[in-house]
Amino acid sequence: MSKLHHIAAARALYQRTRGEHFALGAFNIDNQETLIAIMRAAAAKQSPVLVQLSAGEVDAIGLTNARCLVDNYRTEYGVEAYLNLDHAPSVAAAKAGIDAGFEFIHIDFSQAKKDASLAEIIAATKEVVEYAKTTGALVESEPHYFGGSSNVHTDAIDYDTIRQTFTVPSEAKAFITETGIDTYAVAIGNLHGTYPVPKQLDLELLEEIVAAAPAAAHFSLHGGSGTPAEQFEGAVTRGISKVNINSDMRKAYRMTLEKVLAANPTEYAIVKLMPEVIAAVQAVVESKIDSFGSAGKTTKHGHVAEHNSIDQEAFN
């Protein structure tokens, strides 16, 4: 499947999310094992998925390497999987993702410049939207820095503080209209990372945002880790098309790896330690897919090939 066909398939799938009331899970990868877990979950659930990398992960893996890995695994597992460049901190970084054939691009200009003015953010976003026309990639943005970090936090969530940065429906409409983006990242109580208490989303506010926005707009939910399943279900039925997950996967990976290492103190063949770790991350991804309503939503045109028999000796 060519790069343009990948993007056409991604656009068709994304359009279905609103009419069929499901969301695409966007799952970060730190390494090949995490990618295998995502692909196995997608195959098991017959769910389309987005594989995403933010700046640190791009530095570790590389844009072209990520493109090749995802294409290879989607062929082997016969799944519908696309690439999202998450939180690209500059116009140049976003353009590099477009050039590498990523189907989804998130320009987060205020990540690197937290004091960026609204005018600067709009200008940067419009430049990426225009450049994305070269491939048809879908562009996501938002008008302010998004809080938290992809980690396991021990402090409580200060809702009085984060409410000050909640999305204002009229402002979301204006931003979407002026920039021409495909996806707006809402702030309705979601934060990057996990916290000691479950996150609570303002679903009534989400309804107001969706109602105020242009009809063709899509909406994403960043910081999905640590959110109860019923909150996801409420968000999806109200118009969320994409949910980002990272910290829950990282936590499962590390905790399981620590357990496996403790149980195998004399094993130095790392590949032999990975099966249980991969399975733990896969379980997280599968649970999110269920919450997002995307199980069984894979379409034939999104497959590169039917599932092939894979030699899994290294990981099983």
Catalytic positions, please?
86
Task: Return the sign of the alpha-carbon dihedral for residues 16, 172, 53, 293.
Answer: negative
Q: Are 101 and 138 in contact (CB under 8 A)?
A: no
Q: Which residues contact 112 (CB under 8 A, 6 or more apart)?
A: 89, 90
Give CA 119 to chain center in angstroms. 26
* 294: alpha, beta or left? (left if phi > 0; alpha if psi -120 to 50): alpha
Token pair 């940065």 in the structure block, residue: 165
Q: Which residues contact 73 (CB under 8 A, 6 or more apart)?
A: 35, 36, 39, 79, 81
Residue 287 tokens, joined: 């649970």
* 108: alpha, beta or left? (left if phi > 0; alpha if psi -120 to 50): beta
